[in-house]
């Protein structure tokens, strides 16, 4: 593995409190392996997002301490920060199990940075009673990440019910006019619930880092 990448941001942890993530979808296994070798040498843990099973199997064969998380499509190398209970908990909620990969990407990214999380699935607004039944649990969170496809109403409902910061993650799930998450994203951006933060479509990692910034501020 030659031509090492000198642009990897190993100072991000000190500067921002987070480790640079590796986007795996459009990289080859060899490219990812080269980057992982540099992370390993630096002593920092590595998080690779958007990794398919074929790439994961190759990388697991090269790095014995690597771990693959099939639900989120993420791969890690090295140990993250220990959980710091004093920083509180982030609750990740989703409208349905179809949002699982995005929700678990957010959860994993937070856990690696020492933040305790809880995942609540299948509490979409199509059955509003499910939101209300879990409301007291959700109110215990420091920050809430809400993943939703279709029309993306869940974050708006939550932001109108609880005082904590709510981060909406539009998910690319839904029939025709959902346009691969575009309808959910535009619905969240047009929300009448003041203060709702919205990240890009399927960006569980971005939502996790937004929550981390809020917690560390």
How far apart CA 32 and CA 38 sit, in angstroms, is 10
Domain end (from 60, 77, 94): 77
Tell whether 140 and 204 lie within a shared domain: yes
Residue 111's domain spans which residues? 85-216
Structural domains counted in the chain:
2
Evaluate whether residue 192 is within a structural domain.
Answer: yes
Question: What's the predicted TM-score (pTM) here?
Answer: 0.91
pLDDT at position 6 is 58
Helix (H) or strand (E) holding 33: helix 29-42
Evaluate whether residue 106 is within a structural domain.
Answer: yes
How far apart CA 182 and CA 124 sit, in angstroms, is 18
Domain end (from 77, 96, 126): 77
CATH number reported for the structural domain that contains residue 175 in this entry: 3.40.50.1970
Tell whether 98 and 205 lie within a shared domain: yes
Tell whether 61 and 121 lie within a shared domain: no
Evaluate whether residue 7 is within a structural domain.
Answer: no
Q: In sequence order, which residues have a C-beta less than 8 Å from that of residue 11 and are 6 or more positions away?
A: none
**Per-residue model confidence as pLDDT tens for the chain (217 residues):** 444 555 787 888 888 888 889 999 999 999 999 999 999 988 889 999 999 999 999 999 999 999 999 999 999 999 999 999 999 999 999 988 889 999 999 999 999 999 999 999 999 888 899 999 999 999 999 999 999 999 999 999 999 999 999 999 999 988 988 899 999 999 999 999 999 999 999 999 999 999 999 999 8
pLDDT at position 44 is 86
């Amino acid at each position: 593995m030659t031509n090492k990448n000198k642009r990897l941001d190993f100072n991000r942890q000190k500067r921002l409190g987070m480790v640079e993530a590796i986007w795996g979808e459009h990289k080859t296994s060899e490219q990812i392996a080269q980057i992982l070798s540099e992370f390993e040498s630096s002593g920092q843990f590595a998080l690779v997002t958007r990794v398919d099973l074929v790439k994961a199997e190759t990388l697991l064969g090269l790095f014995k301490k690597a771990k693959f998380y099939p639900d989120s499509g993420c791969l890690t190398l090295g140990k993250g920060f220990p959980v710091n209970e004093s920083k509180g908990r982030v609750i990740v909620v989703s409208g349905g199990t179809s949002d699982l990969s995005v929700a678990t990407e957010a959860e994993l990214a937070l856990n690696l940075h020492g933040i305790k999380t809880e995942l609540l699935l299948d509490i979409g607004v199509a059955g509003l009673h499910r939101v209300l039944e879990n409301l007291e649990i959700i109110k215990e969170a420091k920050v809430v990440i809400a993943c939703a496809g279709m029309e993306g109403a869940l974050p708006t409902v939550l932001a109108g019910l609880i005082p904590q910061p709510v981060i909406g993650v539009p998910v690319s799930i839904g029939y025709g006019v959902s346009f691969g998450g575009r309808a959910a994203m535009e619905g969240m951006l047009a929300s009448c619930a003041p203060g709702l933060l919205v990240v890009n479509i399927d960006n569980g990692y971005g939502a996790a880092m937004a929550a981390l910034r809020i917690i560390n501020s």
